[in-house]
Chain A
Amino acid sequence: MSAETQWRLEGVQFGYGERVAVDGVSFAIGGGELVAIVGPNGCGKSTLLKLMLGALSPAAGEIMLDKKPVRAWGRIGMARRAAFVPQMAGTAESAAGLSGGGFTVLQTVLMARYARHVEERSGILRAAGGLGIFGFETGADQEAATQAMWNADVHHLAAREIETLSGGEKQRVAIARAFAQDTPALLLDEPTSALDLYHQLELMEQLRAAVAGGKLVVLVTHDLNLARRAATRVLVMDRGKMVADGKPEAVLVPAVLEPVYQVVVDGGADGTLRFSRRATRA
């Protein structure tokens, strides 16, 4: 299934009230690709990921996953096809700051198995729609969660409550949860923002292995050098529009990046990009 996973976006538009966040974006991506989406703050990267997941509905245009509109897959269907790591994951944090949670790392990672549980049910229990069912975790669930926690290096935190973790540790728990979901596609929104260097490199290694295994990885990032090293394809966004799409060495060049980021870009001989401030911003 994984090699066939394919998203196709056609003229997608979305706005928050008057403000247009995504403006006529079209592209097609599929299994075996590591796609980096880059662009300045507020250019619509995170909104685009939410649209791809079906968490937001486009005002115009079409988003197809495996030849079916994203909405038609339903929540469970989507959760079996794509895992999501949100920006600086607020894993199990209560909105009011008063913890209604108290879930441990292992319990949080095991939540990834929910869609699988629901899909395995039949008849009336499944007809409960997106509400799911009452089920127990199986040995296979525990095994998948343990493996995912090892891969994201949070296995030693398994019994800790989420509220007691640091920002970087929470981000790794969200990554472990996405791994445990075991889907053909992984969508990550700035997954390295709170990670130390060791864990950044570890994560990229894991993502490369996933892509080699036929999965599709979509990565929103501000680290252009990371995108250049790791991605097989880069999409550049600016003010809601897709301004460039191609291989990293073709797209991450001064001619594309300077007008988008309003900085001076120096593509060094070793391939590493260097940035400096412009005297004035256009």
Chain B
Amino acid sequence: MNGGLTAGRFGRALLVWVGITAAVFALCMCVSGNVEHVGIDWGWPEPGLVQFRLSRVLAAAIVGMALSAAGVTLQALLRNPLADPYVLGISSGSTVGVMAWLLLTQALMPAATAAALDGSGMELFLLTLGRSVPAVIGAVITCIVVFLLARGRWAGAGGMQPVTLLLVGVVISSVNGSLLMLLNSLAPHGLRADMATFLLGSISESELTKTTLWVAAGVLLVGYLPALLAAQALNIGNLPDAEAMSLGVNVQRLRTVSFICASIMTGAAILLSGPIGFVGLICPHICRRLKWIGGPDHRILLIAGPLCGASFLMLADTAVRVGETLHKGEFPVGVVTALLGGPFFLFLLKRGSRGAA
């Protein structure tokens, strides 16, 4: 359990996590709210509803996977379990990209936007793909700005330091927050409500199409696969730089690649749901604690973390979906994850400061 990673140990962890995720997926597909009896219905959805529910559950899985994998990667990069796409401003940067795009398309092509929302042909594809590009570009630009500032003059001779990176991320995050407020106030009245829901982080069937899901899954894979391939190097990246280098890891290159991978994965999540907080914090931490099927080794953590994230968000979003049906109102999933994640973040912070004392 405490030694190296063998194929057997890896296979066991993979099997358990795939099993958990599949079970949660089946559960979420079968649960729905019943307005008439004010309770929960169990059972496979009716044929007309399957497509809707499948899209929503899959979207939650993709977002959960993306945020958790981005969290694992950023935590390794910063050697800090408190890092996640939110802390570094990557989520808010990606959201700025999407919001700017929404405003721009609304202003320049109101007809195309309306046609796309009616679900017709090429416009829909362009709108979907169009939205993924600013999501990733927003994340990558934020990532580059954070990265350049953190590795500039303040970094010293040893290159970019994790603490500097974290501080720069906090500053950029609040700048992005202001930009979002500005964009929201510039938006026409009709769009403002949509943007506000998006800002809170929600997964809604009306926005989801097969194309959106495929594009988001594709973007996720582009960020995820290089990170998974670098898993062994990420383990060593946990050591001080000179030690990691002497073991054969190109530390600066590892940081650059993992930062970009984390940005792309965050973009995939933002594309589907807007910013949903703390998934990237909670799920990797749970997996680190479950040594039998997790632990600190990134070769397992980059499998366990995303699958745990998928399960967690599928469950959270199902709770939201049932709640929405019963209360006949909008109820963003980001609120649920923030209510769970906030105290969890404080718990980690307290535990960390006690350890450091």
Contacts and interface: CB of A to CB of B under 8 A. Distances in A.
B230 A128 contact: yes
Contacts of A95: 79-80, 161-163
A110 B295 CA distance: 15
Contact of A134 (B161, B162, B231, B352): B231
Interface in B226-257: 226, 228-233, 235-236, 238-243, 245-250, 253-254, 257
Interface string B9-35: 010000000000000000000000000
A255 B27 CA distance: 82
B356 A97 contact: yes
Interface string A78-93: 1110111010011111
B2 A102 contact: no
A50 B251 CA distance: 14
Interface size class of A (residues with CB under 8 A): 35 or more
A132 interface: yes
A136 B239 contact: no
Overall SS of chain B's interface: helix
B182 interface: no
A135 interface: yes
Contact of B4 (A92, A132, A137): A137
Contact of A131 (B7, B163, B229, B239): B229
Contacts of B6: 136-137
Interface in A90-115: 90-104, 106-107, 110-112, 114-115
Contacts of B355: 97-99, 163
Contacts of A55: 241-242, 245-246
Given A84-B242, A86-B242, A79 B248 contact: yes
Contacts of B247: 79, 111-112, 114-115, 177, 181
Contacts of B5: 136-137
Interface residues of B, number: 53
A125 B166 CA distance: 31
Interface in A151-166: 158-159, 163
A95 B82 CA distance: 12
B2 A78 contact: no
Interface in B132-168: 157, 161-163, 166
Interface of A: 16-17, 50, 53-56, 75-76, 78-80, 82-84, 86, 89-104, 106-107, 110-112, 114-115, 117-118, 125, 128-137, 141-142, 145, 158-159, 163, 174, 177, 181, 187
Q: Which 5 A-B pairs have the closest CB atoms?
A: A130-B250, A137-B4, A79-B248, A115-B248, A97-B356
